Amino acid sequence: MNSVTFRKKARFGGLSIGLTIVLIAVIILVNVLFGAFANKFGWYVDMTGSALYSVSENCIRQLGEGLRRLAEPGGAVKPVRIIFLNSPDNLNAEVTQRYVYNTARTLENEFPDYIEVSWIDIWTYPDSVRKYMDQMGKLQSTMVVVDCGANGYRVISLNEFFEFRAADSTTPVGYNGDERFASAILTLLSPDKQSCYLTVNHGETYYDRQVLVTLVDAGYTLSYLNLLQEPIPDDCDLLLLYNPTADLTVADGVSQLDERVKLDAYMQGGGNMMVFLSDSVQHLPNLEGFLGSWNLTLQRHENAEGASYPYMVKDPSASLTSDGSTILGAYAREGKGAEWLAPMRESSHVPIVIFKNATSLQIGSDNASVKAYPLFTANEGSEAWSAGSLVSRGETYNLMTLSVNETAGSNLVVCTSSAFASEDYFMSVVFGNREVLQRVLAGMGKQDVLVDIDFKPFADSTIHSITTTAMAQWTVWLTAVPAVLVLGAAIIILVRRKNA
């Protein structure tokens, strides 16, 4: 290589290195400038796998309908103010608060006539937020205030925007900011303020708190009620009896206390009630007598010794567990119950609804005032077991029912699985259990109930909805296909070697 050629190559090499350095410097500068402007003006693109920052189309539609119906478009003062108790720089600097801040900004952009997002530095101006302390006591900079003026306000803690497992209240498993904001706004604006009373004197136990969270999100105020010692309050819009292990008390000549009389009077006055049972429920004759007056019979089997045990419904072909007890419910297709759930049943992607450890109800003949309808049944081919023995196969096993007294305007919904409302099924984008409860509440007359707004899970590679039949098919495929491929490759190699 002569010196002229060497100098040319060196010169072009140095030029290319210099241009590369300049280009990298420009890219870094653009990134820095764009990042600064993005933080200042709230620019962002949601690149998270589950669209964590995004507001779902269902949320936008339902919140928009509610705002247009319940709130007058704002002028200088918007009917809904979302107030952060920290500066935008601090909100953007901390990842969990950034989720919430960006969701609020998205809502403001979607509904500029109704929603305004602002912030107050509570450390510098504590007096400006003093009126909100009545609800939470001590305010924290991570809290958010939804203020709807004369309709009231709600202070929301940071944790409320995230979903947690019951066993771990520190590590969030998903984000639910859009529904939390929309629920707070519609609850405050809605004139339909309702109360739900939870009975406490029958050994009631909750699998998880998700059913209570859903009731609060639907706009109910929750209170506890000792039905034996207290009357059912006049403002009770919904009565919840969850997984009882002790029977109702009725007058017996010694005591004049009678819960059954209270329930009958409440329902005759147009009340709404929900009952959750399980396959392990003991024989509770007074409660079962109350259900009988609503054309429902808890199905039991009596063995040779005269002992009576409730059915446990199993479905060997459509269960998420190998013992067949975590079954997929079949939507009712006729009757009032089917009407309530029609939007779910008729959607392009029908949500899977799970009933774990479910017993069964038999629907009797309608009487003059009460009609009973199925909401969900077990699939064809299901079985009923009792005390560990198969006692029935192929019958109609009702997993969730609706009984209606049209004259009184009252509704009784009975679910035969107390695990129906567990967090495994409510905190999932796969299962429709939570939406079922939301649509039942709407069917019983609760207005402004948000439905079908899925929370956004953080990274999760778990397979949540594979049935035993599907599991067997995948096992065959995953075992046979690789073996066939390996065998085929071995044959090809042997043939080539032989012919080489």
pLDDT digits (tens, 9 = 90+) for 209-250: 889 989 999 999 999 999 999 999 999 999 999 999 999 999
Given this model, what pLDDT does residue 482 score? 63
Question: Given pLDDT bands bounded at 50, 70 and 90, which one contains residue 500?
Answer: low
Cβ(79)–Cβ(71) below 8 Å: yes
Of 97-101, 126-130, 309-313, give the lowest mean pLDDT range: 126-130
Across-strand partners of 301? 309
Residue 79 exposure: Cα atoms within 13 Å on the Cβ side: 18
Please tell me the distance from the alpha carbon of residue 403 to that of residue 409, in angstroms, as a whole number: 11
**CA separation (Å) from 328 to 14, 318, 433, 444, 472?**
69, 6, 11, 24, 17
Coil, strand or helix at 307: coil
DSSP H/E element including 24: helix 3-41
Q: Smallest Cα–Cα separation from 146: which of 79, 83, 202?
A: 83
Please tell me the distance from the alpha carbon of residue 446 to that of residue 42, in angstroms, as a whole number: 37
Q: How far apart are the first and last CA of the chain?
A: 46
Question: Given pLDDT bands bounded at 50, 70 and 90, which one contains residue 39?
Answer: very low
Per-residue b or e along 135-163, where b marks 16 or more CB atoms closer than 10 Å to that residue's CB: eeeebebbbbbbbbeebebbbbebebbbb
Q: What is the mean pLDDT of residues 165-178?
A: 80
Q: Which of the two residues, 5 and 494, has the higher pLDDT score? A: 494
Coil, strand or helix at 290: helix
Task: Please report, for the chain, the start and end positions of each structural domain, with discontinuous segments joined by +.
Answer: 57-164, 193-446, 471-500
Sheet holding 168-175, edge to edge: 162-165, 168-175, 456-457
Per-residue b or e along 321-336, where b marks 16 or more CB atoms closer than 10 Å to that residue's CB: eeebbbbbbbbbeebb
Please tell me the distance from the alpha carbon of residue 308 to that of residue 380, in angstroms, as a whole number: 25
Given this model, what pLDDT does residue 362 score? 96
In the chain, how long is the greatest CA-to-CA distance?
Answer: 121
CATH for 193-446 is: 3.40.50.880
Q: Which of the two residues, 15 and 281, has the higher pLDDT score? A: 281
Strands 272-276 and 236-242: parallel
Looking at the chain, the whole-number percentage of residues with pLDDT higher than 70 is 79
CATH class of 57-164: alpha beta
Please tell me the distance from the alpha carbon of residue 40 to that of residue 44, in angstroms, as a whole number: 11
Q: What is the mean pLDDT of residues 53-68?
A: 90
Highest mean pLDDT among 40-54, 120-134, 354-368: 354-368
Question: Angle at CA 421, nearest 5°, toward 186 and 412?
Answer: 75
Sheet holding 312-314, edge to edge: 312-314, 383-386, 389-393
Please tell me the distance from the alpha carbon of residue 269 to that of residue 110, in angstroms, as a whole number: 42
Of 96-105, 107-116, 130-139, give the lowest mean pLDDT range: 130-139
Sign of the C-alpha dihedral, residues 100, 105, 109, 111? positive
Given this model, what pLDDT does residue 460 score? 53
Please tell me the distance from the alpha carbon of residue 341 to that of residue 210, in angstroms, as a whole number: 20
DSSP state of 463: -
**pTM of the predicted model over 0.85:** no
Cβ(116)–Cβ(81) below 8 Å: yes
Q: Which residue has the tokens 């998420």?
A: 320
